[in-house]
Structure 1
Amino acid sequence: MRRREFLTLLGGMATAWPLGARAQRPRKFPFVGVLVSASPPHPFADAFWRGLHALGYSDGENIKVEFRYTDLRSDRAREYAEELVRLSPDVIVAHYAQAVSAAMAATRTIPIVMAPHGAPLQLGVIDSLARPGGNVTGLSGMDAEIGGKRVELLRELIPNLRCIAVLAATLTTTPYSGPFVEDLRLAVTRAGLRFEPILIPGPSEFRSAFATMAKAEAQAVIVVPFFDPHQVILVELAAKHRLAYMSGSRDATAAGGLVSMAANFPELYQRAAFYVDKILKGAKPADLPVEQPTKFQVAINLKTAQALGLAISPTLLARADEVFE
């Protein structure tokens, strides 16, 4: 398979070197490889650079950073993770669960910074928050741990709520669906509501999935982050079946979803630079505690609420971080 050649700055001139040669050449400053579970452009890069700049790092002056974008493809994540490992980076920054898994499969020695991972404890990525163990540390987005908060919010939005569906990928597509769906199942059951889990392999099943939800008389659907790139068609299908659409993406809410709840991800992306700095200065990943968010942002779309016949209380609107009208 063809591999790219990367340019390295040497003596003020850009010279192309094969991958193997670059890994063996001495560096004047640290090299960080970044694996992003998305397609470019993505807000991760800008936020991460803000964090590095705040700590005194500047690309080409005292640090070198190279990004790889997986387009949410697991095969590409594995390929690029292996590619980065061959370049012998000082640190690998892995954005979201898919990238973390690929980086862990590629190396057990190079430090890996989760930026963030949604369920690192549940999926066995770390031993504990306080002492992660191994070569992985960083940030938890807690996206698979706030099912209770999401259900509570939906009950405030929909007073007669009886049934909640979840749309997730199959476990063979992404293991992250396991803890995400289980967290919601427990929360929905505790609330005394019916739960309709829909696990599908990919976008080709979207239409049948929403038809199944409608047949089950679900009133709301919570969508796993894995499907965020398809939010336009998903929001359209939710509107067609009069389902309240909930996700962790404020962009989906802006596009017509009812509500979103999630950590402030740009802040987490920026905070990843803190871990990179600590590791470059000699800290071991195993000894750096994993951080969790303490606040979760809520966005509400008033126009969508009106289309669904929902009256949002002034108290709830005042608590929202963002309201689309």
Structure 2
Amino acid sequence: MKNLKKMVKIVLVGALAASLVACSTDKKAEKNDEKIKIGAIQYIEHVSLDNALKGFEDRLKEEGIDAEVEVENLQGDQALTTTAPKKFEKDEYKLVYAISTPAAQGAKTALPNKNIIYSAVTDPVEAGLIEAPDKITNITGVNDAVSAKNQIESFLRIYPNIKTIGTIFSTNEANSKVQVEALESACNELGLKLESVGINNINDIGQALSTLTGKIDAYYALTDNTVASAGPIVAENLLKVKIPSISAEEGQVSKGLLMSEGVDYYEHGRQAADLAIRILKGEDIKDVHAEDNKTAKKKVNEKTAKALGLDLNNENLKDAEIIK
């Protein structure tokens, strides 16, 4: 009888232990099923920044990370850059993804204790985001700098008679001022003249184009958020006066500019996500060094090319993706 009681006791204890283990496993599974919350700040709505967000989200899913990405789109309102990020300061948000220089600057100011990943930033050192790529505090990311000189040299092989290039830039974006300086340097090296017009907001673009079009042979589009948001307007006005265009980023080609050998922002967002994944998996952000953009593509807008009389069989376009 004693042995029977002892056996019953052992069975009961074993069952209880198994029950506790199962309960613990269920709780762990339940915990693993919880979505990871990420805050995203997008400075303005246009194709390039939209693609940087989409690439970021898709890469997280591909990695098997069940993330709820909550987006704050600032619609180009500079005043919101430091106030909007405050909603993501709670512990439930595991990190913040800031798309563009103004968004990243605002996030860094507003969220000193939150891990931040940036993208679509041309010069993160000049913008005050990082001291150096390997000197990281609470913010790291991927820059979208491209060589203006390389792009223009490629463009000149198609349009060798170009003498004057024009560009429009936002006076409110540090990102754009850096690019204008680089573009001017590139033009000087190549013996070209640069005509640039600064704007305060999107409403100034029409007048800026009117100022430029009588002076230039070609147009160079910077990775400027304000100007990019009016991409179709810029493309339409340039086409009216048969001025060819080249863009530092491929998104504007889909909006009517002629060509680009610049940043593929979907892949750019995926690259930023790879940094975020390392942090979400436990790596200290200080060890997640900032990176240069890795993926660029040559793209040509077919409709614009035909309107300008450009032969798509041109030897210099043989590797280009044709955008219908």
TM score, norm. by length of structure 1 = 0.80
Aligned counterpart, 1:73? 77
- Give 2:206's aligned residue: 207
1:123 paired to 2:127: yes
**Cα-to-partner distance string for 1:215-270 (whole Å, 9 max, x where unaligned):** 32x11111233111211111111112322222245443234321123222111212
Matched, 1:151 2:152: yes
Label 1:52 to 1:302 Cα distance change in 2 as closer, same or farther (>3 A).
closer
Q: CA deviation at 1:31?
A: 3.1
My pick for the range that moved more, 39-48 or 29-38, is 39-48
Please report the RMSD computed on the Cα atoms of aligned residues, expressed in angstroms.
2.5
Aligned equivalents of 2:91 and 2:121: distance in 1?
A: 24
Counterpart residue identity of residue 136, structure 1: I
Instruction: Select the structure of larger CA radius of gyration.
Output: 2
**1:179-221 per-position Cα deviation (integer Å, ceiling 9, x unaligned):** 11011111111001111111111222222212221332x1111
Cα distance between partner residues in 1 of 2:263 and 2:237: 26
CA distance in structure 2 between the partners assigned to 1:29 and 1:305 by the alignment = 46
Match of 1:36 among 39, 42, 51: 42
Question: Counterpart of 2:294?
Answer: 294
Residue 86 of structure 1 and its aligned partner are, at CA, apart by 4.6
Distance between the aligned counterparts of 1:277 and 1:306, measured in 2?
43
State the one-letter code of the partner of 2:268.
L
Structure (1/2) with the larger helix percentage: 2
CA distance 1:323–1:75, shift in 2 (3 Å): same
Structure 1 CA distance, aligned partners of 2:149 and 2:313?
20
- The 5 A counterparts of 1:1-325 are 30-39=36-45, 42-59=50-67, 64-86=68-90, 89-129=93-133, 131-142=134-145, 145-170=146-171, 173-216=172-215, 218-224=216-222, 225-226=224-225, 227-311=227-311, 314-320=314-320, 322-324=321-323
Distance, in Å, in 1 between the alignment partners of 2:161 and 2:55 is: 40
- Partner SS for 1:319: coil
8 A Cα contact 1:210 1:241, kept in partner: no
Do the aligned partners of residues 175 and 116 (structure 1) sit closer, same or farther apart at CA in structure 2, a change above 3 Å counting?
closer
1:158–1:310 Cα contact (<8 Å) kept: no
Partner letter of residue 51 of structure 1? R
Conserved 8 A contact 2:244-2:258: yes
CA contact (8 A) 2:121 2:175 kept: no
CA distance in 2, matches of 1:175, 1:249: 17
4+ residue segments displaced more than 6 Å: none
Cα deviations by residue, 1:72-100 (Å, 9 ceiling, x for unpaired): 22223332212222566221111121210
Gaps in structure 1 of 5+ consecutive residues: 1-27
Which whole-Å CA distance do the structure 1 matches of 2:199 and 2:53 have between them? 30
Displacement of 1:301: 2.5
SS in 2 for 1:296: coil
Assess if the C-alpha contact under 8 Å between 1:317 and 1:323 holds in 2: no
Residues 132 and 288 of structure 1 are in contact (CA less than 8 Å); yes or no, is this contact kept in structure 2? no
% identical aligned pairs = 21
Please state whether the residue corresponding to 2:83 is helix, strand or coil.
Answer: helix
Where 2:318 maps in the other structure, the secondary structure is helix
Measured against aligned partners, the alpha-carbon deviations of 1:288-318 in whole angstroms (never above 9, x if no partner) come to: 1212223421211244234334445632121
> What is the number of equivalent residue pairs in this alignment?
288
- Indicate conservation of the 8 Å contact 2:40/2:97, yes or no: yes
Q: Secondary structure at the match of 2:290?
A: coil
Cα 1:287–1:116 shift into 2, 3 Å: farther
Q: Partners in 2 of 1:31 and 1:290 — Cα distance? A: 23
- Contact 2:221–2:247 (8 Å) recurs in 1: yes
C-alpha distance in structure 2 between counterparts of 1:319 and 1:54, whole Å: 29
For residues 254 and 46 of structure 1, the distance between their equivalents in structure 2, rounded to whole angstroms, comes to 16
Q: Which runs of 5+ in 2 are unaligned?
A: 1-33
Task: Tell which deviates more after alignment, 266-275 or 227-236.
Answer: 266-275
TM-score, with normalisation over the residues of structure 2? 0.80
